Amino acid sequence: MLLYISAQIEGRDSIIAHIKRFPALLRSIEQIGKNTMAQFIDHIKIRARQLKKHIVLPDAMDERTIQAARIIVDEKIANISLIGSEGAVRSKAQQLDVSLEDIRIVDPEKSENLIEFVHAYFNLRKTKGMQQEQAQAAMRQPLFFGAMMVHEGMADGSVAGSMSTTGDVLRAGIQIVGLPEGITVVSSFFLMIFPKTIYSFADCAVVPDPTSEQLADIAISTAENHRKLTGEEPRVALLSFSTKGSASHVLVEKVQKATLLVKQKNANLIVDGELQLDAAIVSSVAVKKAPGSPVAGTANVLIFPDLNAGNIGYKLTQRLAGAEAVGPIIQGLKKPCYDLSRGCSVNDIVSVVAINSVAGAV
């Protein structure tokens, strides 16, 4: 219909010319996004260098992990420990012609902390039916040993997933590092980077159908991480297909309840809901739909009501609006334990370690 109307106004040749230019326009938008992404990551790296955090990399037998560790240490982004069999890791690095100078290798089998870690893990999980033999087997696994290093304060964060499954990364984080007081759910968020704006979207990857209580905790966790990573004051909108009671439905009530819970748990947070997307980010719409809202029209943290909406929302923003997506970034743990895509690049690992360092800062 839009093409038909435009054709009547501008003529067929003009429409064809616009269509032919469209791929070039998309490439231009994409390049702007990449430039902005690089600037953001550079800024995160600068902050990480100042913090000098110690990050463990449990997928130490992955060549990308070894190569990333070298870059991270050379660029002084963080101190790195590779977790795994020392002989095997050194042999792999030699095959890759990568120096391990100033990179620590922690071998769970040889570690003086192994017995202590087994006892600690058993005590954490014994009420769940954990047996000593199971604790011993788990602590010999780099992923769980690395998580225990984070739990015991021997490291500041963990980054895995290039070889480990998401389920195992989350399991190690939840069972060992644990959730902070007041937070009931582990979730994820994406940073959506535009040339002049950065949004945080949640949850887009972990919790399929959050309850009102979980949705409130997702909002609080995302707001905290948005502040840490962007330096901006978070302005949180809990999204719905309704704005301020414009529709009546159980799904709307879930978001309304979540908004009240956020305000009760964190009175200092700038938050509002339920809001439709346009009311949340477009000032001219906000004036009409949500007058007097502290957030409407200016939100930078967008909380989606479920995983369907969140996953579709971030992909639409990435593919059609040209935003660069950073994530999913795991949140809701006492200390950051991040998951990587198994298709990640060396540079992805370097960037995620930098983000982990900054997000873990108090």
Q: Does residue 208 share a domain with residue 144?
A: no
Structural domains in the chain (count): 2
Helix (H) or strand (E) holding 75: none
| Structure confidence at residue 93 as a pLDDT band (50, 70, 90) | very high
Determine the average pLDDT of the residues in 211-216: 97
Per-residue pLDDT tens over the stretch 330-355: 999 999 999 988 888 999 999 999 99
Q: Does residue 146 share a domain with residue 262?
A: no
Determine the average pLDDT of the residues in 307-318: 94
Instruction: Respond yes or no on whether the N-terminal peptide bond of residue 232 is cis (omega within 30° of 0).
Output: no
Domain encompassing residue 222: 187-331
DSSP readout, 115-169?
A: HHHHHHHHHHHGGGT--HHHHHHHHTSHHHHHHHHHHTTS-SEEEE-SSS-HHHH
**In this predicted structure, what is the pLDDT of residue 245?**
82
Mean pLDDT of the chain: 89
Report if residue 2 sits inside a domain: no
Q: Does residue 90 share a domain with residue 165?
A: yes
Per-residue pLDDT tens over the stretch 244-264: 888 889 999 999 999 999 999
Give dist(CA 298, CA 283) in Å, integer: 7
Q: What is the CATH number of the domain that holds 256?
A: 3.40.50.10750
Determine the average pLDDT of the residues in 285-295: 91
Per-residue pLDDT tens over the stretch 105-135: 999 999 999 999 999 999 999 888 889 999 9
Residues 37/190, Cβ–Cβ less than 8 Å = no
**In this predicted structure, what is the pLDDT of residue 1?**
37
Would the pLDDT of 9 be above 80?
A: no
Q: Does residue 202 share a domain with residue 133?
A: no
283 to each of 176, 182, 278, how far by Cα in Å?
44, 33, 8
Report if residue 41 sits inside a domain: no
Give dist(CA 230, CA 194) in Å, integer: 13
Determine the average pLDDT of the residues in 192-207: 92
Would the pLDDT of 5 be above 50?
A: no
Q: Does residue 192 share a domain with residue 165?
A: no
Q: Does residue 317 share a domain with residue 274?
A: yes
Q: Does residue 193 share a domain with residue 326?
A: yes
What is the number of helices (H) and of strands (E) in the chain? 14, 11
Start-to-end CA span in the chain (Å): 53
**In this predicted structure, what is the pLDDT of residue 123?**
92
**pTM attached to this predicted model:** 0.83
Q: Does residue 296 share a domain with residue 219?
A: yes
Q: What is the CATH number of the domain that holds 108?
A: 3.40.50.10950
**In this predicted structure, what is the pLDDT of residue 37?**
79
Q: Between residues 238 and 28, which one has the greater pLDDT?
A: 238
Q: Does residue 208 share a domain with residue 115?
A: no
| Structure confidence at residue 155 as a pLDDT band (50, 70, 90) | very high
Q: Does residue 344 share a domain with residue 241?
A: no
**In this predicted structure, what is the pLDDT of residue 300?**
96
Q: Does residue 224 share a domain with residue 97?
A: no
**In this predicted structure, what is the pLDDT of residue 327?**
84
Helix (H) or strand (E) holding 78: none
